[in-house]
Amino acid sequence: MALLDSNGTQVFSGQVFNGRKTVTETVTPLAAGDYRMICAVHPDMTGTLTAS
Ligand SMILES: [Cu+2]
């Protein structure tokens, strides 16, 4: 999973793994706003993260 800011700049890139797994990632504090979540493997796997 990667996070992109509103300019499309990648601000975080997490690890890629096979199958189901619970992973804890450490993300540098983000400025308030919405970030697009994308999966490098599955283009249809997306989401939004809101930092406040
Ligand atoms: Cu995926």
> Could you tell me the strand order of the sheet in which 10-13 lies?
10-13, 2-4, 33-38, 46-51
Distance 42 CA to ligand 1 centre (A): 4
- How confident is the model at residue 9, as a pLDDT? 97
What do you get for the CA distance between the two ends of the chain, in Å?
A: 20
In contact, 41 and 16? CB cutoff 8 Å? yes
Distance 41 CA to ligand 1 centre (A): 5
Distance 25 CA to ligand 1 centre (A): 16
The string of pLDDT tens digits covering residues 1-52 is 999 999 999 999 999 999 999 999 999 999 999 999 999 899 999 999 999 9
Distance 29 CA to ligand 1 centre (A): 23
- How confident is the model at residue 40, as a pLDDT? 87
- How confident is the model at residue 23, as a pLDDT? 92
- How confident is the model at residue 50, as a pLDDT? 97
In contact, 31 and 12? CB cutoff 8 Å? no
C-alpha to C-alpha distance for 44 and 23, rounded to whole angstroms: 20
